[in-house]
Structure 1
Amino acid sequence: MKNIYKYIWVLSLVFCCITCGKNDIKISRTIDEVPVIFPDYKDVTVPYNIAPLNFSYMGKEACRLIVAGVDDEMQIEGKNGLFSFSGSAWKKLMERNKGGTIELVVAIQTGNEWGGYKSFFIHVAPEPIDAYLSYRLIPPGYEGWKEMGLYQRNLENYTQTAIYENKLTNGNCVNCHSYCNRNPDKMMFHARAEFGGTILIRDKVIEKLNTKTDSTMSALVYPYWHPSGDYIAFSVNKTKQSFFNHHPNRVEVYDLASDVVVYNVHTHQIAYSPLTKSNQAFETFPTFSPDGRSLYYCSAHAVDSMPQSYKKVKYSLLRIDFNPEDMTFGDKVDTLYNAPLHGKSVSFPRISPDGKFLAFTLHEFGNFSIWHKDADLYMVNLQTKQVYPLSEANSDDVDSYHSWSENSRWMVFSSRRTNGLYTRPFITYIDEKGKAHKPFLLPQENPLVYYKQLMFSYNIPELMVKKVEVSEHEIAKTLRYSKEINVTVK
């Protein structure tokens, strides 16, 4: 019955005036095509607590937006093509249509007449998304930078604040921010070059760590927290990079060697298994299961003659038991997905908090998928072991790093689909069957202008249940003046 009413409503737009305001327009003709808009919010699924999805009509004509929900209608006048929702009107629209659909018609003026494009829909999911998103903003360069920082965005509005900016420590590199269970009360990130060290924050207590030991090839690199908050899994890597003059993948980052270890935040010790620290394999990108008793990671057969043989490095998805009671490992490794059998390579495994699905990035070779144009998001059903692409979320360009929401219904991921150069955060709804729905670009007040002018890439988008409250100046003071805590091997 609801669909019948919506059909009648759309027909009425062609001949009738929508009487919700004295300046409302009358549509006298239909345009048999969909409008070109940016961002492409047509038929996306969104959380009801997301910030308003403002967008621009890309034509030059005077334009209006007509919006209809289950029991309300409104019209918005386009200003230089931009349709901007008020915060209160958007919130009311989302609340009233939670679990339903809103319908939108873009109308344009030709002479004295208004023509209406084909309508499109925004689906409003009944599940919320985590309140905050954090990320690093970094120029899309390779070795040099002048400024970068870690930032957090309130997803219910457009407010962005700094977690840490490198101008506080002479422009050093800050990277690899990570949180325990998406809660920044327990978090860490690395600082490299001047004032280098690993920052570990637990309940507002800040520590600076020296994580290089005589038994490991490097300082600790790619992190993932144990759900208990007692441990962090890391890779250690000897990493190099090469550049291409005439190749769609502009840069290739590769390992000469790598291992996986686990760090105890209380004792400042690391432990490992011979199965995760082998000269015959490159191990990287660890992640714990939600119950804390499995450690997943990527592993490739070690390859000599790098970088000449970089295309031969292909990573599989592995799992080993982990005992949090005594920080020990199992005596065998399971292969969850043998990517080389399919001529592919795996990176960034991430398990949904409900433990049902594991998402990863799949690409032709190596592990630096953020510059691989063939990189796509894939999913493993951990009950049936079925592996399949997240087709609705993927694009023709890079789709790579990803992070789950606390309720396992949302995933944010980085993509270069907008222009092939800058990574931007997209959010996709993951339904109970593990299927992705059409993703939407992170909302902004004026997204066309914002993303056109932003000369930074979003790196490592991570959802958070609350904002970081530790002062960046306290972090800078720790990096500059505090004595390092030396990490040792158990």
Structure 2
Amino acid sequence: MIGCLLGLVACQPSLPHIDEQKEITPVIYPDYKEVTIPVNVAPLNFGLRDAVEDAVAVFSFQEHSISVWLKDSTFQIPLKAWQELLQQAKGKSLEVSVSVKEKGKWIGYRPFDIYVASEPMDAYLVYRKIAPGYELWKNMGIYQRNLETFEESPVLENRQTDQNCMNCHSFCNRQADRFLFHMRQKLGGTYLVKDGTVEKLNTETPETISSLVYPSWHPEGRFVAFSTNITKQFFHPNNRNRIEVYDEKSDVVVYDTEKHELITAPALFSNQAFETFPTFSADGKTLYFCTAQAKPMPDAYQEVKYSLCSVSFDPEKRTFGNRVDTLYAAEQQGKSVSFPRVSPDGRYLLYTLSGYGNFSIWHKDADLYWVDLKTGEHRKQDEINSPDVESYHAWSGNSRWFVFSSRRDDGLYTRPYFAYVSEEGKIGKPFMLPQRERDYYEDSMWSYNIPEFVSGKIRVSARSIIDVAETSGTNIKFMK
């Protein structure tokens, strides 16, 4: 292994003599300076913000190093050498030294570190790619990315389904062979995939206000909690939040995949409140959800603030407890909760907090918080929040990593960022999803929507989904 690294360096041009040494670090894009990364991540290829005549970056750990010369505006790190170097440095840090040639002279910058955590993250990420306005869906798709390489492949693209809308993909325990998603308009339905078999569900019932929307799998796989929502949007003529999305009504139900039935409870299904964003606890005995007092919409959209609550759930009896616990009281504490997600080890519940409403992906004040479910302490995640939007998030299976959506890069497009959580609850500086070319995000016209960790590659074919989509589907029942 060491011989491979040294052999790679030997094949490169010799490093230049430095004419001037600066005491500042270089300005790079993406910003990977001082980030914490998993031992199994793809190469952190980057470039420089300013044009130079030539440049070289040296990635080193102890006596092992890789020299990478700038080519087509990118330091493209060889995959095999990168993987070997991360294995050498896991639990410690890499040093990165950048030197640039300007006006015939070589300038050396102060090195920066990249911290390499010993714990890996799940190998795949699944997301929807969509234009950032969300008002049109002529082109969109659900894609999977191998986080250990740069391989991306479509799970399903709407060019295959008559340009319809597809959304809300969700996985049972991050399993690639057990997941669901919705298609809207043409071929509408909820599509549930289990062990390669695809099932189409017709989820509108006379008792519910809409078809099923935001999902959360029970860890045992039999049940899925959903919200039902009547959602509207409008555009601000002069507001830093470009779009306002709100619910006129919403409820929470739980779907039994074996009996094709919906069950619920008064705390989850009420005309007096807007209930939404359900999520099960790691042990499946508690259902968390967001709830706000119902108000006339859209007139009172800025007055709607969602609390974070929970109710017990008995999967054997299919029953809910009568007691509702409040973890964050919006009326007293002044802000609004969305997207609660529990770490697989049951320790933390990560959520988004913004000034009002529940569609925080367009609220620039939206930040990430968590509550320690062991101590009950809430904490703002200052290590990862930015002046722009932080919104949707998901945990890796070992609870050491989470991915979150952020608009910090340019204020318009949503990108996936990854953050490390130590056993003591300390969070490392996040890093943006690596791409092969430095200019990828600046050239891309897509937002990354609903990033979800998955433990392996999805194998079910688009053709098998489309074949089922053209059938009538299975009706579900609401149990009173």
TM-score exceeds 0.5 = yes
What does 1:93-172 correspond to in 2, within 5 Å?
A: 93-172=85-164
> Is contact 2:65-2:85 (8 Å) kept?
no
Partner of 2:476: 487
- The one-character-per-residue Cα deviations of 1:200-257 (angstroms, maximum 9, x if unpaired) are 1111111110101111111111000000000000001111111111111111111111
Partner of 1:13: none
Aligned to 2:43, what secondary structure does the other structure show? coil
Partner of 1:218: 210
Q: Does 1:90 align with 2:87?
A: no
> Is contact 1:20-1:73 (8 Å) kept?
no
> Is contact 1:131-1:466 (8 Å) kept?
yes
Q: Residue 20 of structure 1: CA displacement?
A: 8.8
Aligned to 1:238, what secondary structure does the other structure show? strand
> Is contact 1:39-1:441 (8 Å) kept?
yes
Q: Does 1:456 align with 2:446?
A: yes
Q: Residue 323 of structure 1: CA displacement?
A: 0.2
1:449 counterpart letter in structure 2: D
Partner of 2:326: 335
Q: Distance in 1 between matches of 2:11 and 2:425?
A: 40
- The one-character-per-residue Cα deviations of 1:361-405 (angstroms, maximum 9, x if unpaired) are 000000000000000010101111110111111111001000000
Partner of 1:423: 414
Partner of 1:279: 271
Alignment partner of 2:392 out of 382, 393, 401: 401
> Is contact 2:404-2:418 (8 Å) kept?
yes
Q: Residue 19 of structure 1: CA displacement?
A: 8.7
Partner of 2:457: 467
Count of aligned positions: 470
Q: Distance in 1 between matches of 2:169 and 2:367?
A: 23
Partner of 2:167: 175
Aligned to 1:184, what secondary structure does the other structure show? coil
Alignment partner of 1:255 out of 233, 240, 247: 247
Aligned to 1:90, what secondary structure does the other structure show? helix
Q: Distance in 2 between matches of 1:436 and 1:397?
A: 19
> Is contact 1:351-1:358 (8 Å) kept?
yes
Q: Residue 70 of structure 1: CA displacement?
A: 2.5
Structure 2's unaligned 5+ residue stretches are 1-8
Q: Distance in 2 between matches of 1:268 and 1:377?
A: 35
Partner of 1:373: 364
1:476 counterpart letter in structure 2: I
Q: Distance in 2 between matches of 1:312 and 1:280?
A: 15
- The one-character-per-residue Cα deviations of 1:326-362 (angstroms, maximum 9, x if unpaired) are 2110011000111332220000000000000010000
Note the aligned Cα RMSD (angstroms). 1.3
Q: Distance in 2 between matches of 1:432 and 1:422?
A: 32
Aligned to 2:391, what secondary structure does the other structure show? strand
Alignment partner of 2:201 out of 204, 209, 213: 209
Q: Residue 168 of structure 1: CA displacement?
A: 1.3
Partner of 1:34: 25
Q: Distance in 1 between matches of 2:62 and 2:316?
A: 53
> Is contact 2:252-2:278 (8 Å) kept?
yes
Partner of 1:301: 293
Instruction: Please identify, of 235-244 and 356-365, the stretch whose mean Cα deviation from structure 2 is larger.
Output: 235-244
Q: Distance in 2 between matches of 1:44 and 1:19?
A: 28
What is the percent sequence identity of the aligned residues? Answer: 50
> Is contact 2:66-2:81 (8 Å) kept?
no
1:340 counterpart letter in structure 2: E
> Is contact 1:239-1:256 (8 Å) kept?
yes
Q: Distance in 1 between matches of 2:197 and 2:67?
A: 50
Q: Distance in 1 between matches of 2:18 and 2:341?
A: 48
Q: Residue 71 of structure 1: CA displacement?
A: 2.7
Q: Does 1:265 align with 2:257?
A: yes
> Is contact 1:58-1:81 (8 Å) kept?
no
- What TM-score do the two structures reach when normalised by structure 1? 0.94
Q: Distance in 2 between matches of 1:366 and 1:199?
A: 28
- What TM-score do the two structures reach when normalised by structure 2? 0.96
Alignment partner of 1:323 out of 311, 314, 321: 314
Partner of 2:348: 357
Structure 1's unaligned 5+ residue stretches are 1-17
Partner of 1:47: 38
Aligned to 1:27, what secondary structure does the other structure show? coil
1:241 counterpart letter in structure 2: Q
1:245 counterpart letter in structure 2: P
- The one-character-per-residue Cα deviations of 1:49-85 (angstroms, maximum 9, x if unpaired) are 0000000012222211122212312322112431110
Q: Distance in 2 between matches of 1:265 and 1:243?
A: 38
1:252 counterpart letter in structure 2: E
Q: Distance in 2 between matches of 1:68 and 1:121?
A: 10
Alignment partner of 1:235 out of 227, 230, 239: 227
